[in-house]
Structures are given as C-alpha cells and as structure tokens.
Amino acid sequence: MTAPPTLPKSRQRLILAVLMVCSLLIWLDNTVLSITLETLADPVRGLGASPAELQWATGAYTLVFATLMFTAGAMGDSFGHRNVLAIGLVIFAGASIWAAYAGDAGQLIAARAAMGVGAALIMPANFAILLWTFTGPGRATAIAISSTSTGVGMAAGPVLAGLLLGHFWWGSVFLVNVPIIVVALAGIIFLVPNFRSPTVRPVDPAGILLSISGLAALTYGLIRAGQVDDWSRWDVAAPTAVGLLLLVAFVLVELKTKEPSFDPRLLAQRMFGGGNASMALLFFSVAAITFYNAFYMQGALGYSPMKAGLANVPTAVGAVVGAPLGARLVSRWSLRPVAVPALTVAAFTMGAVGFLDLHTPLVWIEILLLAQGLSVGMVMAPVTGALISSLPLERSGAGSAVTNTARQVGSVIGIAVGGTIMSIAYRGAIEPSLGDVPEALQDSARVSAEQARHVAATIHQPTLAQAADHAFIHAMHVGAFWIMLITLVAAAVLLVSLPAAGKKKDPTPETDHEEARSAEPHSTA
C-alpha cells in the first residue's frame, strides 16, 4: 500500500480547524452539563431529578463513550474515518435534540447514552484523521494545537451554560450543539479525505457486550448503594458482583482474541499499565469533585448559573497553562520529578474542598480552583504523551484506545462512587432535622438538598433549608476527604510506575519504525 499523498498546507490547516471544532464539541458538552445539574435537580425549573438520576445522566454518556470508543477505531478502518466521524456527529446532533426536549429524567438519561454513542464515534476518528493528515514535525505541532480545544471547551462551557440558563430553559444547553455540528459536518464533507487503514481490524461484538453490561451493572450497584444506604442488600451486592464478573470475562475474552480492540496485555507493562491506572484514578477524582462543585456553587452558595460558570473559569485557565508548563518542566527535569509532585498537589487541592463552607469568600474558591486546574494540567498532558510514546509505533493506536478507555471508566466510577458517598453522608446529616417535617414529605427531603429546599419552601420552614445546606456541606467534606486519599494513591502508583530520571528508554527502535512504515494508511477521496 502506498502512503497517502501530502495535502497542501492550506488544506491541512483547514482540516485541523474542523477537527478542533469536533473536539471542542465533546469538551463543551461535558462542562456545560456540570453547570446544568443544579437546575435539573430543581423540581420547578428542571426535572426534579434525584442525585442517582443525575449520576446516571452524567455517567450514561461516559459509560457508552468508554466502552464503544475502542470499537469505533475498528469501524473507521473498515468504512473510513471520515464516514465514521460524520455518522458520529449526526448521532450526536439527534441525541442533543432529544436531550433538549426530554420530558423526564429517564428520557434525559437515554438521550445522554445516545450522545455517548456519537462521541465514541467522533473521538477516535478525529484523532486518526489528525495523525494521517500531518506527518513529521508538523504532526507534533498539530497535536499540540489541537489539544488547546480542550482548554477552550473547559473555559467556554460553564460560561455558555450560565448564559443560556440565565435566558432560556435548561434544554438550550443541549440544543446549542446543533449549529456547531452543522459547521463541522460541512467542513468534513468538503475538506477531509476518507482515510482508512490497509489493515482492517475486526469489530469485537463480544467485547462490546461484556464491557457495556459489566460497567453498567457495576455502576448500577454503586449508585443503588447511595440510594438505599445499605451495601448488604441484594439489589446492591448482586449487580456489583455481576458487573465485576462480566468485566473479568471481558478481559479474558480480549486476551484470547487474536486482534483485540482493547488489548489488556499492554497493561502488563509497568510504565504503561501503572501510568494508566494512575490516570484512571485521577479522572475518578476529577469527575467526583466536579460533581460536588456543581451543587456547592449553585445550591449551597446560591450562585446564579452565570456566576457559577464564571467562577469555574480558573479551573480551565489552570489546565490550559499547566499543560505546556508541565511539558517544559519535563523536558528539563524528566517526567517523574514533575508529574508526581503535581499530582500530589492536585490531591491536596481536592482535599482542601473539605475546608469550604457556606461563608467561604469567592476569592479563596477561585484560588483553589486555579491551583487544582494547574496541577491536573501539569500531570495529564506530559503523562499521556509518555504513555503512548512508551509503546512501539505500530501499537500506538491500540495504546491510545486503552488509555482513553481507562480514563473514561475512571470517570464513570468516580461519578458513581462520589455521588454515592455524598448521598449517604447527606442523609445521615439531614435526618435529625426532619422531626417537624410532615411524614409524607420526609422522603423527598432525604433525597437531596435540592429537594429539601423545595420542601422547606412548600411548608414555609426556612430552618429545614438551612439544615439541608449544612447537611450538604458535611457530605461534601466527607467526599473530599476520600477523593483526596484516592488521588494520593494515584500519585503513589505513578511514582512506582515511572522510570527515574536518567533511565529513559527508547520506545521505538529502528526496527519498529521499519515495520510501521509498511502499514501506512491510505485515503480515498
């Protein structure tokens, strides 16, 4: 097979712009939802969704995204990555419209799962087209430029959500995806060649079924534990155990598959496996602390969606600054002395959430969020590059699938466990304040602080609303402590996994490059 012809520089730049719009869409949607959670929980302005339903609305998207992403790469090999990318955008647009007009939390969860299907098709195809459009030194530059869309999405998403929620109904935060997708589709159709690999990887239906069902069962068990506050109940223990067994079966099936879409063998390598475990734990912590932050700012502190969106900007600014800063420091001192301390600082910033209360000045919250974003940014970018570079060139695609899947799985479990900790701690704290609440309304007040505030307004009992605020703060403090410990474990795992300074290993010897050249992709217009 011959290598694809080099595209004109002007066309390469236009393709890069289109791919950045596609990537921006994914990150924009993630951050927009975090600002919308408080509104969705409101029985009047939103859907009256419970914490468990909001966990599913967030987690359903990430769960489907995580488990279909590695299969989407194989589909791109068979049908062309441009075609898969376009189909993913169309699915994402349709699901966004469905989510915008969802009549209840169940419909919203289903629509979010459909959005996850679209995102799973978009992400691998987007990355593949980027790699095959650019070659040589220009490829590294293009990847660096493309990664800025992450920071832009993180910064713009909360502000956009606040603006939309301040003037329109909650569904507008999903409907805004549609015009972005129309622009991206136009660029894809007219600019992007239909790159595909000469070596077609088979689609893995057994892997898809086992991974989705295993993660779904495990997530259900963890979320259910927060609803019933009893880990020994059969409807908690059974799905949790079944989920773990299905995930073990998934690993065994992939080990026996000749060409697995998700290759567990890669995780046996100390640096790659340990590094991905550490990043999965970091994504666990980031997802959980972000979930808490949404309810803290708008619920406990009473910020408007716009003010909460602007208050979250320092996190994005920190991440945007931290990524290149981390790369620069790594080039000077090597990875371990930069990434491990940065991850340790990230752990302490998450633990510091335990010191926030109902009277914390906004400036202190902003400083904490800035430090959190900066430290996480200094870890994620350089560690990601090092993990992929630790593999031979011909395994980079499989390695990218494993890395992305591990992170999304970490996010799914982080939302489930973090939300469950918060629900259990909240119920324990609010219980003493429910004595004067009519029995028919007590269950609603136990569901969440949002529901308790609504009950307080209904029965004209402001003391119940105050008790709900304090119960939430207590729950957030308990959760922040556990999240800090998990992030410290991530730092310890990273310390053990990364090589010491001066022990760098060339991951791509000359023979690997020669083998990789024989597998160059080609394109069809």
Specify which of 34-43, 112-121, 211-220, 401-410 reaches the highest per-range mean pLDDT.
112-121
Per-residue DSSP letter, 6: P
Classified as helix, coil or strand, 524 is: strand
Q: Regarding predicted confidence, which is higher, 117 or 8?
A: 117
Angle at which helices 51-79 and 105-133 cross, to 10° = 30
CATH class of 1-201: mainly alpha
Q: Where are the domains of the chain?
A: 1-201, 205-256, 263-415+480-500
Confidence (pLDDT) at 281: 94
What's the rounded mean pLDDT across residues 500-513? Answer: 46
In three state form, how does the secondary structure of 224-255 look? HHHHHCCCCCHHHHHHHHHHHHHHHHHHHHHH
Q: Would you say 194 and 80 are in contact if contact means Cβ atoms under 8 Å apart? A: yes
Confidence (pLDDT) at 494: 93
pLDDT surpasses 90 at 7 = no
What's the rounded mean pLDDT across residues 134-150? Answer: 67
DSSP string, 472-484: HHHHHHHHHHHHH
Specify which of 142-151, 331-340, 433-442 reaches the highest per-range mean pLDDT.
331-340
Phi, psi of 195 (to 5 degrees): -60, 140
Residues 6+ apart with CB under 8 A from 479: 288, 292, 418, 421, 422, 425
Confidence (pLDDT) at 4: 54
Least confident of 28-37, 40-49, 290-299: 28-37
* DSSP bridge pairs for 473: none
Confidence (pLDDT) at 504: 46
Q: Would you say 27 and 290 are in contact if contact means Cβ atoms under 8 Å apart? A: no
pLDDT surpasses 70 at 201 = no
pLDDT surpasses 60 at 6 = yes
Q: Burial-class residue 394 by CB neighbours within 10 Å (0-12, 13-18, 19+).
A: middle
DSSP string, 443-469: HHHHH-HHHHHHHHHHHT-HHHHHHHH
The confidence band for 358, taking pLDDT boundaries of 50, 70 and 90, is: very high
Per-residue DSSP letter, 501: T
Q: What is the C-alpha to C-alpha distance for residues 387 and 275, in angstroms, rounded to an integer? A: 7
Least confident of 107-111, 171-175, 317-321, 518-522: 518-522
The confidence band for 457, taking pLDDT boundaries of 50, 70 and 90, is: confident
> pLDDT tens across 391-410, in order?
665 565 566 667 777 887 88
What's the rounded mean pLDDT across residues 373-384? Answer: 85
From first CA to last CA, the distance across the chain in angstroms is: 16
pLDDT surpasses 60 at 502 = no
Least confident of 51-55, 199-203, 425-429, 521-525: 521-525
Tokens of 135: 């070659």
Q: Regarding predicted confidence, which is higher, 488 or 254?
A: 488
The dihedral sign for the CA sequence 368, 369, 371, 376: positive
The confidence band for 81, taking pLDDT boundaries of 50, 70 and 90, is: confident
Classified as helix, coil or strand, 522 is: strand
Residues 6+ apart with CB under 8 A from 478: 421, 422, 425
Q: Which of 47, 64, 182 has its CA nearest to residue 115?
A: 64
What DSSP element (H or E) covers 194?
strand 194-196
Mean pLDDT of the chain: 81
Within 10 angstroms of residue 45's Cβ, the number of other Cβ atoms is 14
What's the rounded mean pLDDT across residues 283-306? Answer: 87
Tokens of 24: 């921006």
Confidence (pLDDT) at 111: 94
Confidence (pLDDT) at 491: 94
Query: Do the domains at 1-201 and 263-415+480-500 have one common CATH topology?
Result: yes
Q: Per CATH, is 263-415+480-500 categorized as 3.40.1280.10?
A: no
Confidence (pLDDT) at 356: 93
Q: What is the C-alpha to C-alpha distance for residues 64 and 373, in angstroms, rounded to an integer? A: 26
pLDDT surpasses 50 at 260 = yes
In the block, residue with structure tokens 């991530």 = 490
Q: Regarding predicted confidence, which is higher, 349 or 333?
A: 349
Q: Would you say 391 and 507 are in contact if contact means Cβ atoms under 8 Å apart? A: yes
The confidence band for 199, taking pLDDT boundaries of 50, 70 and 90, is: low
> pLDDT tens across 237-257, in order?
898 899 899 989 988 888 887
Q: What percent of the chain has pLDDT over 90?
A: 21
Q: Burial-class residue 327 by CB neighbours within 10 Å (0-12, 13-18, 19+).
A: middle
Cα distances (Å, whole numbers) of residue 519 to 3, 75, 105, 200, 395 = 9, 17, 47, 11, 11
How does 14-27 read in b/e, with b if 16+ C-beta sit within 10 Å?
Answer: bbbebbbbbbbbbb
Confidence (pLDDT) at 216: 80
Q: Which of 298, 343, 14 has its CA nearest to residue 184?
A: 14
What's the rounded mean pLDDT across residues 57-73? Answer: 77
pLDDT surpasses 60 at 480 = yes
pLDDT surpasses 90 at 125 = no
Confidence (pLDDT) at 510: 38
Within 10 angstroms of residue 477's Cβ, the number of other Cβ atoms is 18
Cα distances (Å, whole numbers) of residue 83 to 132, 269, 295 = 15, 34, 39
What's the rounded mean pLDDT across residues 134-151? Answer: 67
What DSSP element (H or E) covers 196?
strand 194-196
